[in-house]
Amino acid sequence: MLKQGLLIILLSSLLVSCSSPLPEQSPQWSTTTQQALQQMYRALQVDSAGGHDIHNPYFTQWLKVGYQKAKVMAQHVDSVAGYYFTLKYYAAGFHDGHVRLTYNGLLAVNWPGFTTRYQQGHFYVDAIGKTVNNIPVNAELVACNGSGIKSLFRKTVLLFNDNPDLIAAWSNQAWLLMFDFANPFSQRLQVCQFRYAGKTFTHPLIWQHLTPDQFKQLQNNFTTKPTLGKQVFGKHGIWISIPTLDPQTAADRQALQQLVLQAKMLRQYNPIVFDVRGNGGGNSWWALQLLTHLYGQPLMQWVVRKHDHQFELWRASQANIDVIHDSYLPKAQQNFGEQSVDYRQMQAVYHGMQQALTEDEPFYKLGDPLMRATLLGPEPKNPVHSQVYFLTDGHCASSCMDFADYMHWLPGITMIGQTTYADTFYTETRFITLEGSATLMFPMKIHVGRERGYNQPYQPRYIYQRDMRDTVALQKWVMALAHQAS
> Is 214 part of a structural domain of the chain?
no
pLDDT for 92 beyond 90: yes
- Residue 373 pLDDT: 56
- Residue 16 pLDDT: 39
Same domain, 259 and 188: no
Single out the residue of 84, 39, 1, 91 nearest to residue 324, CA to CA: 1
pLDDT for 21 beyond 70: no
> Is 46 part of a structural domain of the chain?
yes
CATH number assigned to the domain comprising residue 276: 3.90.226.10
Contact between 291 and 404 under an 8 Å Cβ cutoff? The reply is: no
Model confidence over 373-395: pLDDT tens digits? 556 789 999 999 999 999 999 99
> Is 245 part of a structural domain of the chain?
yes
What mean pLDDT do residues 89-96 have?
A: 98
Last residue in a domain, options 103, 130, 165: 103
Contact between 164 and 158 under an 8 Å Cβ cutoff? The reply is: yes
Same domain, 99 and 120: no
> Is 216 part of a structural domain of the chain?
no
- Residue 10 pLDDT: 45
Work out the mean pLDDT of the chain and round it to a whole number: 93
Same domain, 73 and 138: no
The pairing of beta strand 311-315 with beta strand 363-366? antiparallel
Q: What is the domain range of residue 155?
A: 113-206
Q: How is 244-305 classified by DSSP, letter by letter?
A: -BS--SHHHHHHHHHHHHTGGGGGGSSSEEEE-TT---BBTHHHHHHHHHHH-HHHHHHHHH
Model confidence over 254-293: pLDDT tens digits? 999 999 999 999 999 999 999 999 999 999 999 999 999 9
Q: What's the DSSP call for residue 461?
A: S
CATH number assigned to the domain comprising residue 132: 2.30.42.10
> Is 218 part of a structural domain of the chain?
no
Q: How is 38-80 classified by DSSP, letter by letter?
A: HHHHHHHHHTSSGGG-TT-HHHHHHHHHHHHHHHHHHTT--BH
Last residue in a domain, options 84, 103, 122: 103
Same domain, 88 and 119: no
Last residue in a domain, options 45, 69, 103: 103
Q: Is the dihedral of CA 99, 103, 108, 113 positive or negative?
A: positive
Number of domains comprising the chain: 3
The CA-CA-CA angle for residues 7, 8, 11, to 5°, reads: 80
* Distance of alpha carbon 249 from alpha carbon 252, whole angstroms: 5
* Distance of alpha carbon 125 from alpha carbon 118, whole angstroms: 9
* Distance of alpha carbon 389 from alpha carbon 393, whole angstroms: 13
Q: Is the dihedral of CA 424, 278, 91, 170 positive or negative?
A: positive
What mean pLDDT do residues 171-185 have?
A: 97
Model confidence over 409-439: pLDDT tens digits? 999 999 999 999 999 999 999 999 999 999 9
